[in-house]
């Protein structure tokens, strides 16, 4: 593959709802560009993008894959992203380096939740986009239905560049609205000229007028020409549309079939003619000199010192470790010496690659704005910046969604714990939305992800790639135990077994401390030396060990004040161990007499949904014992519902929320405080704990 200049590169993310045809479209584009001699199919498991065994088995994308294609004088780096929102981290990584996007919509299914999310991401990152309506070969395809849905959502921004032509119910061609030409698709996936049929004239007139209005608004000269009734030239139209598309004020809509390869060449031409190179004027990329904290823009300028952003890491036992980078300034050559300021490491490259799916293509260099891969950077992670030691640079890391779905996990086979830990560590390097937490308090290991489907994929990958198995289960909720009233008890530990015996006698008072942030407060007010001072630490140690596991249901105890006020000792048999044991007995006895209660963790929850779903969400939150505190306007026309809710009620909420909102809802939460659990909840938890202990 030859070296391309920055202005001849296009970095295009392929976005859309899961199953809409993104990978099929990428395969068709690769085939049209001559990358492959035979177009692969998702069902056959032979596409360039979905090469991972899990992707082949499940028949959908799990990771973002880079597929570079060459078209005449240009190179297009296609970033094929997953459509299912459990893998949103992969989409966000792709968008951190994309300069434009193709939003794929199925002509049969229409605008779906993933379509709207894709649009919102483009708005968030100010990414110009075009929309490709695929599956036009389906008998139930409704192109104008999709266009009208898009217009209802996004108004005059939507500009159909194509209108489909159907003959005998079959999709056979399209009208190019920009050039006002009819085209008939041939078996090879290319096209030949044809007349514009009469039945598309009404829609064609409307679409053409919208395009001409958009062109007129780009300059006063064109506006005067438009109102003067003069015709625009094709060059004037294309130049004006290019400006609008680059600014995001116009979003072209085209139609075709990824499966049959129809209109794919037109789509590729749109990428190079209308979508921007990395050198787009209205977007700046900033870096900071860590030595001075001075910020400056690098703007994909090949004349500046080298810098590159690591947007993705691949750690695979079969193909090795690769850092995928986008060159932000300067040039990256295969013998470059690169510096990672965050890790303070400097390494010399031996080889530089471009990845096409799992294929590695060695290249001599990459210009600013291009995407490539570097092997074996062991100290470099996703989000790091590579630069020169003489000119260090740090670029802000991309924002990656936080995971809120979690499950307990255990190694299926004893002795595999270390293998599981090492494998998960490698998977977390690849997927920043995957996290592991060791909950020592509840004796469990927790696996966090975006959703249940992602966690299921993790289980499958661990077995397939790393030959270890884990079992997922419902996590143990971190309840707390405390007391509500004051009690006094006396406990004696006495044991005689020949020789020195054991003797410890304590009289203690237990009451609520009023501070649920601390497990206990220990005080003493012993008079007359009833208990020698040297045994006070042993008594406190007995309390400290007791609060780790409460008598009620086995959860940590908080908010206890323990006061030693009397007792007795034996000059020979008393010991620290005896007084510690007596204190433990006193704790247990007093706790069960002092109106013990269970405290449940309460989370502060924010749910983001379109207005039409707010009633359903609030009703569901009430069923989950949530307390709705208010609603606020949010981004992209959504509403934020703020509520307090027991943490236990959020288990499985990701799946339920998607079901209620058709995938249009998101949520986030954080721990807030502990509150007394209702009696029925307390009884249920105690019963479950007793049953668990029996087993």
pLDDT at 199: 86
Distance (Å, rounded) from C-alpha 299 to C-alpha 396? 14
Q: Assess whether 379 and 410 both reside in one domain.
A: no
Closest CA to 128 of 273, 4, 328, 263: 273
Q: What is the CATH number of the domain that holds 503?
A: 3.30.230.10
Q: Span 411-439, mean pLDDT? A: 95
> Lowest-pLDDT range, 21-35, 131-145, 194-208, 520-534?
194-208
Q: Assess whether 202 and 123 both reside in one domain.
A: yes
pLDDT at 442: 87
Helix H or strand E encompassing 10: strand 9-16
Residue 398 lies in a domain: no
Distance (Å, rounded) from C-alpha 218 to C-alpha 231? 15
Q: Under a CB-based contact definition with an 8 Å cutoff, are residues 660 and 613 in contact?
A: yes
Residue 399 lies in a domain: no
Summarize pLDDT for 133-162 with one digit per residue, the tens.
999 999 999 999 999 999 999 988 898 999
Model confidence at 487: pLDDT above 70: yes
Residue 293 tokens read as 């904290």
pLDDT at 202: 85
Closest CA to 19 of 90, 138, 108, 88: 108
Q: What backbone phi and psi angles, to 5 degrees, belong to 119?
A: -60, -45
Q: Assess whether 591 and 618 both reside in one domain.
A: no
Contacts of 456 (CB under 8 A, 6+ apart): none
Model confidence at 212: pLDDT above 90: no
Q: Which of 553, 572, 595 is the last residue of a domain?
A: 595
> Number of C-alpha atoms within 13 angstroms, CB side, residue 569?
21
**Beta partners for 104?**
16, 132
Model confidence at 283: pLDDT above 80: no
The CA-atom distances, in angstroms, between 431 and each of 89, 228, 257, 428, 683 are 7, 57, 32, 5, 40
Q: Which residue is it, tokens 């030949």?
A: 192
Residue 28 lies in a domain: yes
Distance (Å, rounded) from C-alpha 295 to C-alpha 307? 14
Distance (Å, rounded) from C-alpha 232 to C-alpha 569? 105
Q: What is the CATH number of the domain that holds 371?
A: 2.40.30.10
pLDDT at 122: 95
Q: Which of 473, 493, 526 is the last residue of a domain?
A: 473
Burial of residue 486, with CB atoms counted within 10 A of its CB: 0-12 exposed, 13-18 middle, 19 or more buried = middle
pLDDT at 390: 92
Residue 396 lies in a domain: no
Distance (Å, rounded) from C-alpha 201 to C-alpha 638? 38
Distance (Å, rounded) from C-alpha 372 to C-alpha 327? 8
> Lowest-pLDDT range, 143-157, 200-214, 244-258, 526-540?
200-214
Distance (Å, rounded) from C-alpha 419 to C-alpha 693? 28
Model confidence at 566: pLDDT above 80: yes
First to last CA, the chain: 62
Tally the residues of the chain. Answer: 695
Q: Assess whether 633 and 495 both reside in one domain.
A: no
Q: Assess whether 91 and 26 both reside in one domain.
A: yes
Q: Assess whether 414 and 378 both reside in one domain.
A: no
The CA-atom distances, in angstroms, between 24 and each of 59, 79, 275, 546 are 11, 13, 21, 61
Model confidence at 586: pLDDT above 70: yes
Summarize pLDDT for 358-381 with one digit per residue, the tens.
999 999 999 999 999 999 888 899
Contacts of 489 (CB under 8 A, 6+ apart): 507, 508, 510, 586, 589, 590, 593
Q: Under a CB-based contact definition with an 8 Å cutoff, are residues 307 and 328 in contact?
A: yes
Q: Under a CB-based contact definition with an 8 Å cutoff, are residues 135 and 141 in contact?
A: yes
Distance (Å, rounded) from C-alpha 121 to C-alpha 124? 5
Distance (Å, rounded) from C-alpha 586 to C-alpha 19? 63
Closest CA to 544 of 525, 557, 526, 555: 557
Q: Where are the beta strands (DSSP E) in 330-358?
A: 331-333, 337-340, 345-348, 353-356
pLDDT at 323: 95
DSSP 676: E
Residue 314 tokens read as 């691949």
Q: Which of 387, 421, 443 is the last residue of a domain?
A: 387
Model confidence at 169: pLDDT above 90: no
> Lowest-pLDDT range, 120-124, 358-362, 633-637?
633-637
Distance (Å, rounded) from C-alpha 653 to C-alpha 181? 51
Q: Assess whether 97 and 227 both reside in one domain.
A: yes
Q: Assess whether 463 and 562 both reside in one domain.
A: no
Q: Under a CB-based contact definition with an 8 Å cutoff, are residues 610 and 664 in contact?
A: yes
Q: Under a CB-based contact definition with an 8 Å cutoff, are residues 646 and 600 in contact?
A: yes
Percent of the chain residues past pLDDT 90, beyond the cut: 78
Residue 397 lies in a domain: no
Q: What is the CATH number of the domain that holds 444?
A: 3.30.70.3280
pLDDT at 695: 58
Q: Which residue is it, tokens 């003493």?
A: 524
pLDDT at 20: 95
DSSP collapsed to 3 states, 218-271:
CCHHHHHHHHCCCCCCHHHHHHHHHHHHHHCCCEEEEECECCCCECHHHHHHHH
Count of structural domains, the chain: 5
Q: Assess whether 201 and 229 both reside in one domain.
A: yes
Q: Which residue is it, tokens 């139609």?
A: 255
DSSP 670: E
Q: Assess whether 631 and 544 both reside in one domain.
A: no
Say what the pTM is.
0.91
CA 534, 538, 544, 546 torsion: positive or negative?
negative
Helix H or strand E encompassing 311: strand 307-316
Q: Span 81-109, mean pLDDT? A: 96
> Number of C-alpha atoms within 13 angstroms, CB side, residue 140?
4
Q: Span 340-351, mean pLDDT? A: 91
Model confidence at 42: pLDDT above 70: yes
Residue 279 lies in a domain: no
> Lowest-pLDDT range, 113-127, 213-227, 358-372, 422-436?
213-227
Distance (Å, rounded) from C-alpha 681 to C-alpha 208? 64
Q: What is the CATH number of the domain that holds 269?
A: 3.40.50.300
Q: Span 180-190, mean pLDDT? A: 83
Q: Assess whether 160 and 143 both reside in one domain.
A: yes
pLDDT band of 90, cuts 50, 70, 90? very high
pLDDT at 1: 85
Closest CA to 586 of 513, 492, 485, 496: 492
Where does 18-142 have alpha helices with state H? 22-32, 53-58, 88-95, 113-125
Q: Assess whether 585 and 649 both reside in one domain.
A: no
pLDDT at 281: 66
- Integer-rounded Cα radius of gyration of the chain: 32
Q: What is the CATH number of the domain that holds 660?
A: 3.30.70.240
Model confidence at 76: pLDDT above 90: yes
- Residue ranges making up the domain that contains 355: 286-387
Distance (Å, rounded) from C-alpha 64 to C-alpha 81? 4
**Average pLDDT for the chain:** 92
Q: Under a CB-based contact definition with an 8 Å cutoff, are residues 490 and 601 in contact?
A: no
pLDDT band of 591, cuts 50, 70, 90? very high
Distance (Å, rounded) from C-alpha 233 to C-alpha 145? 30
Q: Under a CB-based contact definition with an 8 Å cutoff, are residues 323 and 383 in contact?
A: no
């Amino acid at each position: 593959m030859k070296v391309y200049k920055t202005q001849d590169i296009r970095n295009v993310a392929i976005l859309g709802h899961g199953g809409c045809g993104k990978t099929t479209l990428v395969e068709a584009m690769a085939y049209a560009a001559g990358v492959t001699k035979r177009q692969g199919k998702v069902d056959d498991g032979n596409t360039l993008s979905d090469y991972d065994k899990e992707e082949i088995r499940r028949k959908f994308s799990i990771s973002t894959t880079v597929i570079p294609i060459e078209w005449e004088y240009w190179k297009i780096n296609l970033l094929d992203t997953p459509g299912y929102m459990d893998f949103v981290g992969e989409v966000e990584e792709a968008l951190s380096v994309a300069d434009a996007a193709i939003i794929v919509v199925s002509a049969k299914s229409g605008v779906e939740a993933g379509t709207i999310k894709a649009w919102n991401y483009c708005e968030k990152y100010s990414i110009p986009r075009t929309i490709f309506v695929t599956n036009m070969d389906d008998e139930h395809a409704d192109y104008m239905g999709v266009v009208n849905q898009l217009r209802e959502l996004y108004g005059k921004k939507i500009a159909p560049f194509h209108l489909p032509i159907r003959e005998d119910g079959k999709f056979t061609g399209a009208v190019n609205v920009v050039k006002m030409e009819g085209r008939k698709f041939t078996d090879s996936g290319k096209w030949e000229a044809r007349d514009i049929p009469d039945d598309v004239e009404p829609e064609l007139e409307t679409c053409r007028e919208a395009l001409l209005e958009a062109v007129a608004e780009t300059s006063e000269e064109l506006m005067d020409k438009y109102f003067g009734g003069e015709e625009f030239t094709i060059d004037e139209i294309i130049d004006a549309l290019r400006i609008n598309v680059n600014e995001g004020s116009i979003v072209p809509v085209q139609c075709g079939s990824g499966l049959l390869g129809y209109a794919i060449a037109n789509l590729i031409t749109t990428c190079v003619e209308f979508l921007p190179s990395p050198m787009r004027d209205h977007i700046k990329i900033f870096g900071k000199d860590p030595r001075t904290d001075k910020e400056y823009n690098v703007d994909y300028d090949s004349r500046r010192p080298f810098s590159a952003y690591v947007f993705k890491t691949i750690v695979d036992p079969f193909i090795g470790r690769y850092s995928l980078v986008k060159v932000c300034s300067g040039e990256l050559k295969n013998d470059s010496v690169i510096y990672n300021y965050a890790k303070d490491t400097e390494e010399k490259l031996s080889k530089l690659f471009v990845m096409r799916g799992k294929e590695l293509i060695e290249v001599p260099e990459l210009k600013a704005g291009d995407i490539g891969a570097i092997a074996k950077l062991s100290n470099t992670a996703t989000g790091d910046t590579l630069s020169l030691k003489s000119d260090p640079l740090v670029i802000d890391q991309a924002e990656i969604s936080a995971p809120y779905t979690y499950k307990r996990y255990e190694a299926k086979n004893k002795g595999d714990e270390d293998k599981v830990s090492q494998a998960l560590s490698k998977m977390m390097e690849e997927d920043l939305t995957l996290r592991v937490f060791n909950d020592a308090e509840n004796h469990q290991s927790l696996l966090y992800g975006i959703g249940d489907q992602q966690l299921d994929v993790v289980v499958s990958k661990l077995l397939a790639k790393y030959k270890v198995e884990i079992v997922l289960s419902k996590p143990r909720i971190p309840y707390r135990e405390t007391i509500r009233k004051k009690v006094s008890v006396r406990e004696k530990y006495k044991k005689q077994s020949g020789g020195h015996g054991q003797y410890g006698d304590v009289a203690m008072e237990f009451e609520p401390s009023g501070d649920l942030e601390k497990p206990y407060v220990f005080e003493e007010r012993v008079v007359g030396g009833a208990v020698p001072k040297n045994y006070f630490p042993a008594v406190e140690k007995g309390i400290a060990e007791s609060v780790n596991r409460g008598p009620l249901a086995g959860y940590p105890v908080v908010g206890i004040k323990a006061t030693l006020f009397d007792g007795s000792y034996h000059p020979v048999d008393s010991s620290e161990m005896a007084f510690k044991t007596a204190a433990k007995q006193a704790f247990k006895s007093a706790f069960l007499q002092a109106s013990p209660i269970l405290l449940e963790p309460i989370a502060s929850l924010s749910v983001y949904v379109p207005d039409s779903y707010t009633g359903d969400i609030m009703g569901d939150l009430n069923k989950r014992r949530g307390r709705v505190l208010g609603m606020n306007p949010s981004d992209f026309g959504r509403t934020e519902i703020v509520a307090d809710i027991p943490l236990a009620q959020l288990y499985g909420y990701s799946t339920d929320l998607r079901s209620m909102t058709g995938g249009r809802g998101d949520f986030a939460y954080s721990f807030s405080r502990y509150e007394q659990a209702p009696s029925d909840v307390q009884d249920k938890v105690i019963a479950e704990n007793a049953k668990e202990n029996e087993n």
